[in-house]
Amino acid sequence: MIFHCGSHYTRPVINKRRSTAVLWGLLAAIALIGPSPAGADDETTEPAAEPPKVELVLDVSGSMRARDIDGRSRISVAQQAFNEVVDGLPDETQLGIRVLGATYRGKDKKQGCRDTQQIVPVGPVDRTQAKAAVAGLRPTGFTPVGLALRSAAQDLGTGSTARRIVLITDGEDTCAPPDPCEVARELAAQGTRLVVDTLGLAPDEKVRRQLLCIAGATGGTYTAAQSADELTGRIKQLVDRARDTYTVTPAVVGGAAACADAPLLAPGVYTDREAFSEHRWYRVPVRAGQELRASVSIGLDRPVNPDYGVLLRATAPDGRELVRGVDAGSGRTDVVSAGLRWSAAEEEDAAGPTPTPSATAAARTVCLVVSNSFAARAGTRAEPGMPVELTVDVVAASPAPDGPDLGRGWALLLLLTLAGLVTGLVAGLLTRWWVATWREN
Amino acid sequence: MRTLIRVAAATAAAGLALTPGVALAAPSPSPGATTVTKAGTSFLTATSITAGQPVRVGASTGDHLYWSFRAEAGQVHEVGVTVAFGKPRTGPSTWTVDVFDGLRRRQACTAGAQTPTVDAAATGVTLGCTLRRVRPWAEPWSGDPLPGTYYVRLSVTELPEPDLGLPIEVDLLAGATDSGGASGDDGELAAPLVPNTRAGTVLTAEPTPEPAAEEETDLTGWLPEAGSRWVWTGVGGVLAAVAGVVGFALTRRPRRR
C-alpha cells in the first residue's frame, strides 16, 4: 500500500504537464489557422471593419448671403459651424464635404443646376485642408439639391455600414426635376442604408416641407437652425450619431407573394419593401424544441392617412394560422411594429408520426406574412414600397412549468402550524386515553 | 395556548413587514451614475441605458428618440421623461412615450401620463409610464412582459407643422423596483427577449435534420426548481413539528407537586 502511494501521487502531475503541453499546442494551432468558425457568437461583438462615413452637403447658393442669423450672414454661420465640427471630429469617422451652387455665376439654369462639387473627399480628415476649403466658399449660384444628394450617395459608396448625409440648406431646390424628395426615396430604396439628416437655416414654409420630406423618406431628422450655436451643436450630434449607431447593414431580402416560393431565412435582421395593401411572405425553419421569434417594423416614409396598422402572422405551410402579432396607431410616427413568439405545442409533437424513437429532429417550416393597413393620401406615390425591417430569431423553447410541488406564503405556514397543532393534540389525547385504558386493564 | 398566540402574532407581524410595498416611488437617479447624452433614432440604433442612469439630450421637435434597457423577472420598471421647450409654440402638441419589448411588441403602461397634450404657451411637458411586473415565463402566444430588452420611444404625435425642427431638451430616467421572487410565478424563459441584431442570411436549401438531443435522465429532474418555495415549505414543516409537540404537551395532565 505504501509503495503504491508514491506512484499514485505522481500521476496527476504528469497528466497536468501533458495537458498543459496539449493546450499550448492547441493555442499555437488556433493562432496559425485563425479564429475558429465555431465562435459565431463573437461576430455580434466584433466591431465592423468599416469606419462610419458621413458627408456634409452645404448649400452655397446666392441666398446664403442673407444676414439674418444673429446679424451674420448664413454662409459665415455655416462656415464657423463646419470649422468647429472639423476640430471636434472623432479620429475614426470619415468625413466628406460637398457643396452645391458654389461656382457658377451665370444665369443659365441648365448649367447652374449641374453645379455641385466635392471639396473634401470622404476619408480620414486633414483638418487644415478641410478648413481652408470651407473658408474659401462664396455664395454664388443655383440650388441643385437633388443632384447633390445623388452625388453624395455616390461619394459615400456602398458597404456594410450605414451612411449618413447631413444636408444644410436655406433655400428650396431651384432645379427640379429631379425632385430632391424623390431622389432621397430612390436612394433609400437602393439597398444601402442611407440616412439623410436635414438642417434648415432660417427656413421658410416651402424649405421646411421639402426638408421634412427628404428626412422622412430616409429615416433621418429635420432641424430648423435659428442660431450659430444650434447649428454647430446639431451637426456635431449628427456626426457623432454616425459613429454611435448600429453599424451592420441588415440583409436585403425580397418577400414572395405566397409561402411556397418565399425566401428561407436564417436568424438575423432583414430589410425589404412593401407597398400599400401588399402581403410579403417569408419562411423560417424551426425544429422541435425551438421557439421562433419574429418582429417587424414598417417605416412611414411618405405621407399616409393618420390611422394605420401592421400585422405579422405565422402560419403553417398549409395556411393554418399559428400566432399573430398586431399593432395599430394614429398620428405622426416613424415606424409601426409588431412581434410574435411561437413554439410547437408539446401535444402536437407527441401526436406526430415517430417511426424511430432516436430519429433526427427535422425542421418544420413556418411561414411569416407581413401585411399593412396604411392608406395613401391623394398624390402619395405607391412605388417603391415602404421600408420593412424584419428580425428573425430561433432560440430554445421554454416549456410550460409544471404545477408547483411546493408552497409559498403566510397562509401555508399558518395551515401547516395548525395541522401540526391539531395532530399533536389528537396524538396527545389518544395517548392519554390509551394509557388510561391500559392502566385500568 | 399562550405560546401559540404569541407565535401567531409574531408570524403576522413578520408577514406585514415582509410584504413588498405596493406604492412605487418616482424613479430617482442612482448615485454616481454617469449621465447619458445620446439617443438612438430607430430600434436598431437605440442607446442602451440602465435603471437609475439619467439621460439628458438635446434634440429637435419631431425626432423619434429611442433608448433601451434590460429588465429581469420580478422587476417593475418606471420611465419618467421631461421635455423642455425653449420658445413658445404656434399650437398645442401631443407627446407620447411608447415602451416596446425585445420583440417590438407594444407594452401597456399601468400608470403615468403616456400621451399628454400641452397648449402653445407651455414651456415643457412631463411624461411617465409604469410597466407591468416582468414575469419569469409566459406562454409564447401571450403578450406578457418578459425578461430581456425593452425599448423606450419618445415622439411628438400631433403638432402644427411649423413647430417641427425647433430645439428641445429631453430628460429621461428609468427606475426599477425589484420585488424579488414574490411574484408567485414559476417557470423560466430559456433565452431572454434580446433581439438578434446580426445581418441575416437567406438560406438556399432546407437545413439538414440534426440528430435529436438525447433526453437527459437526471435524478434531480423530478424535484421542483430551487427557489423560495423550498424555504417556505421547509419553515412550514418545522413550525408544524413544533406546533405538534406543543399540542401534545397541552394534553399532558399538569404534574402534581
Q: Which residues of B touch A397 (CB under 8 A)?
A: 140, 190
d(CA B68, CA B53) in angstroms, rounded, equals 12
Domain assignment present for residue B203? The answer is no
Domain assignment present for residue A420? The answer is no
Give tens-digit pLDDT for A151-180: 888 888 877 777 888 998 887 777 777 888
Q: Mean pLDDT in chain A?
A: 80
The dihedral through the CA atoms of B41, B34, A234, A94 has a sign that is: negative
Domain assignment present for residue B197? The answer is no
Domain assignment present for residue B101? The answer is yes
Query: Minimal Cα distance from B13: which residue of A?
Result: A410
pTM for this model (two decimals)? 0.81
Cβ contact, residue pair A223, B184, below 8 Å: no
Instruction: State the burial class of residue A441 (Cβ atoms within 10 Å of its Cβ: 0-12, 13-18, 19+).
Output: exposed
Q: Is B23 within 8 Å of chain A by CB?
A: no
Among candidate residues A337, A395, A139, A202, the one with its CA nearest the CA of residue B143: A337
Q: Other C-beta atoms within 10 Å of B179: how many?
A: 15
Tell me how close the Cα of A65 comes to any Cα of chain B, in angstroms: 22
Q: Is A367 within 8 Å of chain B by CB?
A: no
C-alpha cell at B145: 412582459
d(CA A157, CA B125) in angstroms, rounded, equals 42
Q: Is B188 within 8 Å of chain A by CB?
A: yes
Give mean pLDDT, residues A48-57.
79
Q: Residues A93, A185: one domain?
A: yes
Is the pLDDT at A39 greater than 70, yes or no? Answer: no
Q: Residues A291, A219: one domain?
A: no
Cβ contact, residue pair B159, A405, below 8 Å: no
Q: What is the DSSP letter of A135?
A: H
Domain assignment present for residue A32? The answer is no
Residues B173 and B79: beta-carbon distance below 8 Å: yes
Report the Cα–Cα distance between both ends of chain A, in Å, rounded: 65
pLDDT of residue A398: 87
Cβ contact, residue pair A427, B248, below 8 Å: yes
Q: What is the secondary structure of chain B as a DSSP string?
A: -HHHHHHHHHHHHHHHHHSPPSSPPPP-PPTTPPPB---BSSSTTPEE--TT--EEEEEETT--EEEEEEE-TTEEEEEEEEEEESS--SS-EEEEEEEEETT--B--EEES-SS-EE-TT-SEEEEEEEEPPPPS---TT-----SEEEEEEEEEEE--GGGTT-EEEEEEEEEEEE-TTTT------SS-B----SBP-EESSPPPPEEPPPPP--GGGGSPPSSHHHHHHHHHHHHHHHHHHHHHHHTSPPPP-
Q: Which residues of A touch B11 (CB under 8 A)?
A: 410, 413-414, 417
d(CA A306, CA A178) in angstroms, rounded, equals 28
pLDDT of residue A229: 85
The interface predicted TM-score (ipTM) is 0.80
pLDDT of residue B220: 61
d(CA B155, CA B61) in angstroms, rounded, equals 8
Return the CA Rg of chain A: 34
d(CA B203, CA A264) in angstroms, rounded, equals 5
Q: Is B163 within 8 Å of chain A by CB?
A: no
Q: Residues A230, A266: one domain?
A: no
Cβ contact, residue pair B167, A270, below 8 Å: no
Q: Is A255 within 8 Å of chain B by CB?
A: no
Work out how many domains chain B is built from and give that number: 1
Q: Which residues of A touch B158 (CB under 8 A)?
A: 331-332
Domain assignment present for residue A99? The answer is yes
Domain assignment present for residue A412? The answer is no
Domain assignment present for residue B164? The answer is yes
Cβ contact, residue pair B240, A419, below 8 Å: yes
Domain assignment present for residue A106? The answer is yes
CATH code of the domain in which B156 resides: 2.60.120
User: How many contacts (CB atoms, under 8 Å) link A and B?
Assistant: 308
Cβ contact, residue pair A250, B235, below 8 Å: no
- Which has more confidence, B201 or A423? A423
Choose the weakest-confidence range: A217-226, A250-259, B9-18. B9-18
Query: Minimal Cα distance from B233: which residue of A?
Result: A407
Choose the weakest-confidence range: A21-25, A361-365, A410-414, B211-215. A21-25
Q: Residues A135, A283: one domain?
A: no
Select the residue of A205, A327, A424 nearest B246 (Cβ to Cβ).
Answer: A424
Residue numbers of the domain that contains A163: 53-244
d(CA A385, CA A189) in angstroms, rounded, equals 8
Select the residue of B105, B191, B198 nearest A269 (Cβ to Cβ).
Answer: B198
Domain assignment present for residue A14? The answer is no
Q: Is A343 within 8 Å of chain B by CB?
A: yes
Q: Residues A136, A189: one domain?
A: yes
C-alpha cell at A172: 428650396
Select the residue of A334, A337, A429 nearest B251 (Cβ to Cβ).
Answer: A429
Q: What is the 3-state secondary structure (H, E, C) of A166-227?
A: EEEECCCCCCCCCCHHHHHHHHHCCCCCEEEEEEEECCCHHHHHHHHHHHHHHCCCEEEECC
Name every residue whose Cβ is closer than 8 Å to that of residue A352 and which is 6 or more positions away in sequence. Answer: none
Q: Which residues of B touch A342 (CB under 8 A)?
A: 140-141
Q: Residues A218, A153: one domain?
A: yes
Q: Residues A145, A238: one domain?
A: yes
b/e per residue, A369-392, with b = 16+ CB within 10 A? bbbbebeeeeeeeeeebbbbbbbb
Q: Residues A68, A190: one domain?
A: yes
Tell me how close the Cα of A140 comes to any Cα of chain B, in angstroms: 27
Cβ contact, residue pair A398, B190, below 8 Å: yes
Q: Is A202 within 8 Å of chain B by CB?
A: no
CATH code of the domain in which A184 resides: 3.40.50.410
Q: What is the DSSP letter of A332?
A: S
Q: Which of A229, A244, A259 is the last residue of a domain?
A: A244
d(CA B131, CA B175) in angstroms, rounded, equals 11
Select the residue of A248, A423, A429 nearest B244 (Cβ to Cβ).
Answer: A423
Q: Residues A75, A151: one domain?
A: yes
Cβ contact, residue pair A331, B60, below 8 Å: no
Give the three-state DSSP class for A299. strand
Q: Which residues of B touch A395 (CB under 8 A)?
A: 190-191
Domain assignment present for residue A213? The answer is yes
Residues of chain B short of pLDDT 70, as ranges, are 1-26, 179-184, 208-221, 254-257
Domain assignment present for residue A79? The answer is yes
Q: Which residues of A touch B209 (CB under 8 A)?
A: 360-363
Instruction: State the burial class of residue A279 (Cβ atoms within 10 Å of its Cβ: 0-12, 13-18, 19+).
Output: middle
Chain A window 82-101: which residues touch B at a Cβ cutoff of 8 Å? Answer: none
CATH code of the domain in which A383 resides: 2.60.120.380
Give the three-state DSSP class for A93. coil
Q: Residues A148, A292: one domain?
A: no
Q: Residues A333, A261: one domain?
A: yes
Cβ contact, residue pair B156, A422, below 8 Å: no
Choose the weakest-confidence range: A121-135, A261-275, B20-34. B20-34
Q: Residues A156, A235: one domain?
A: yes
Q: Is B159 within 8 Å of chain A by CB?
A: yes
Q: Is B212 within 8 Å of chain A by CB?
A: yes
Among candidate residues B44, B207, B37, the one with its CA nearest the CA of residue A44: B44
Residue numbers of the domain that contains B88: 62-181
Among candidate residues B98, B154, B40, the one with its CA nearest the CA of residue A327: B98
Q: Is A270 within 8 Å of chain B by CB?
A: yes
pLDDT interval class at A10 (50, 70, 90): very low
Tell me how close the Cα of B21 comes to any Cα of chain A, in angstroms: 16
pLDDT of residue B212: 55
Domain assignment present for residue B132? The answer is yes
Domain assignment present for residue B76? The answer is yes
Cβ contact, residue pair B236, A263, below 8 Å: no
pLDDT of residue A30: 42
Choose the weakest-confidence range: A274-278, A350-354, B239-243. A350-354
Domain assignment present for residue B99? The answer is yes
A195 backbone dihedrals φ, ψ, rounded to 5°: -115, 130
Cβ contact, residue pair B243, A418, below 8 Å: yes
Give A338's strand partners. A296
Domain assignment present for residue B23? The answer is no
Helical segments of A319-409, H only? 346-351
Work out how many domains chain A is built from and give that number: 2
